[in-house]
């Protein structure tokens, strides 16, 4: 029996990458898509409904995969809490705020929820490596996280950069919020010990590049990941969807899917 999927943000770049992979896989069925009213249409024979009329699509799905925008995800969760009950929900949208996070927490009581700032297997391994490196190298090494994305990306630093910062902070047993530094300009003064710096480059159609630099007095270690195609994230999200459907209600992570926890 095929896995029935609905894509939220169906006409976007990630929605399109997902649709291509789903259509090429006989074990997956794309029931339909959801998008903003001005983007809703039929795409390659697939119905894309606006939020207001997507309840019937959601009810037919085993899983809903969202790569849209925080406000859109918030509306989806608020307006469709009933039809989403019991469904697996996968969220790749980044830049989420407290409002979306608490709606996701409420959804996790009604069904299995997996939120991942990055669905690439290699990046999820990188999170573990960054945590380990931070633990072993200690605060004598200054950490700077540099990310690069396409010019249309709306949030900065990227969700992946922040997840890497969280991993480094965990490795050092500190709260990221107390040591985070976004960019530097003017006269910020000498770099305080323990700071974790973030730098965002935007341009062209860069898919997603992340470098975590551990800079010591005598050497430098850089952990680096460069994505070459969006289908990388789409394939990871579909692997996660297969894993998530049928699980009990609750919050899950890519680390759970990959057995890296
Ligand atoms: P995109 O702009 O190409 O597509 C966004 C989709 O959401 C479109 O279909 C658009 O119509 C819809 N949408 C609804 N409300 C919107 C709003 N207020 N603003 C913008 N779009 C809105 O973007 P994309 O490159 O497909 O990325 C979508 C999201 O997924 C972003 O948050 C991005 O950071 C994230 N992303 C996550 C991963 C991951 O692995 N987790 C990978 C790539 C992208």
Structure tokens at 205: 């159609």
Angle between helices 159-171 and 121-137 (to 10 degrees): 30
Fold of 3-119+230-258: Rossmann fold (3.40.50)
Q: Please work out whether the CB of residue 74 comes within 6 Å of at least one atom of ligand 1.
A: no
Nearest CA to 9 among 61, 80, 65, 77? Answer: 65
What is the rounded distance in angstroms from the CA atom of residue 99 to the CA atom of residue 120? Answer: 26
Tell me what the mean pLDDT of segment 151-158 comes to: 96
What is the rounded distance in angstroms from the CA atom of residue 131 to the CA atom of residue 168? Answer: 5
Q: Do strands 209-215 and 142-149 pair parallel, antiparallel, or not at all (unpaired)?
A: antiparallel
pLDDT in tens, 201-211: 999 999 999 99
Q: Please work out whether the CB of residue 67 comes within 6 Å of at least one atom of ligand 1.
A: yes
Other CB atoms closer than 10 Å to residue 199's CB: what's the count?
A: 18
Between the CA of 75 and the centroid of ligand 1 the distance, in Å, is 14
Say whether pLDDT at 227 is over 90.
Answer: yes
With b for 16 or more beta-carbon neighbours within 10 A and e for fewer, the 52-70 pattern comes to eebeebbbebbbbbbbbbb
Between the CA of 39 and the centroid of ligand 1 the distance, in Å, is 12
Contact 238, 22 (CB under 8 A): yes
Residues annotated catalytic, as ranges: 149, 153
Tell me what the mean pLDDT of segment 182-202 comes to: 97
Q: Which residues contact 45 (CB under 8 A, 6 or more apart)?
A: none
Closest residue to atom 25 of ligand 1, CA basis? 13
pLDDT in tens, 37-69: 888 677 778 899 999 999 999 999 999 999 999
Q: Please work out whether the CB of residue 75 comes within 6 Å of at least one atom of ligand 1.
A: no
pLDDT in tens, 75-92: 999 999 999 999 999 999
CATH class assigned to 121-226: alpha beta
Between the CA of 9 and the centroid of ligand 1 the distance, in Å, is 6
pLDDT in tens, 92-139: 999 999 999 999 999 999 999 999 999 999 999 999 999 999 999 999
Between the CA of 70 and the centroid of ligand 1 the distance, in Å, is 9
Closest residue to atom 15 of ligand 1, CA basis? 72
Contact 114, 249 (CB under 8 A): no
Of the two residues 42 and 243, the one the predictor is more confident about is 243
How confident is the model at residue 41, as a pLDDT? 76
Q: Which residues contact 32 (CB under 8 A, 6 or more apart)?
A: 6, 7, 10, 46, 47, 48, 49, 54, 57, 60
Q: Where are the domains of the chain?
A: 3-119+230-258, 121-226
How confident is the model at residue 185, as a pLDDT? 95
Mean pLDDT of the chain: 96
What percent of the chain is modeled with pLDDT above 90? 95
Q: Please work out whether the CB of residue 36 comes within 6 Å of at least one atom of ligand 1.
A: yes
Q: Please work out whether the CB of residue 254 comes within 6 Å of at least one atom of ligand 1.
A: no
């Amino acid at each position: 029996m095929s896995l029935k999927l609905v894509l939220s943000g169906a006409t976007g770049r990630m929605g399109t990458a997902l649709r291509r992979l789903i259509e090429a896989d006989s074990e997956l069925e794309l029931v339909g898509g959801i998008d903003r009213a001005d983007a809703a249409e039929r795409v390659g024979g697939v119905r894309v409904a606006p939020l207001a009329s997507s309840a019937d699509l959601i009810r037919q799905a085993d899983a809903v995969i969202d790569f849209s925008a925080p406000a859109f995800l918030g509306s989806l969760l608020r307006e469709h809490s009933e039809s989403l009950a019991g469904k697996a929900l996968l969220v790749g949208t980044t830049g989420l705020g407290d409002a979306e996070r608490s709606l996701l927490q409420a959804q996790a009581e009604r069904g299995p929820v997996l939120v991942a700032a990055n669905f690439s297997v290699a990046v999820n391994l990188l999170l573990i490596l960054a945590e380990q490196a931070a633990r072993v190298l200690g605060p004598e090494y200054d950490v700077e996280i540099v990310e690069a994305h396409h010019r249309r990306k709306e949030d900065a630093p990227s969700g992946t950069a922040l997840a890497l910062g969280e991993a480094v902070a965990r490795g050092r047993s500190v709260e990221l919020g107390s040591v985070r530094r976004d960019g530097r300009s003017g006269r910020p003064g000498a770099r305080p010990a323990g700071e974790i710096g973030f730098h965002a480059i935007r341009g062209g159609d860069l898919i997603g590049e992340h470098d975590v630099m551990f800079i010591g007095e005598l050497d430098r270690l850089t952990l680096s990941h460069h994505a070459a195609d969006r289908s990388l994230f789409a394939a990871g999200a579909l692997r996660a969807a297969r894993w998530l459907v049928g699980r009990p209600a609750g919050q899950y992570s890519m680390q759970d899917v990959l057995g890296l926890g």
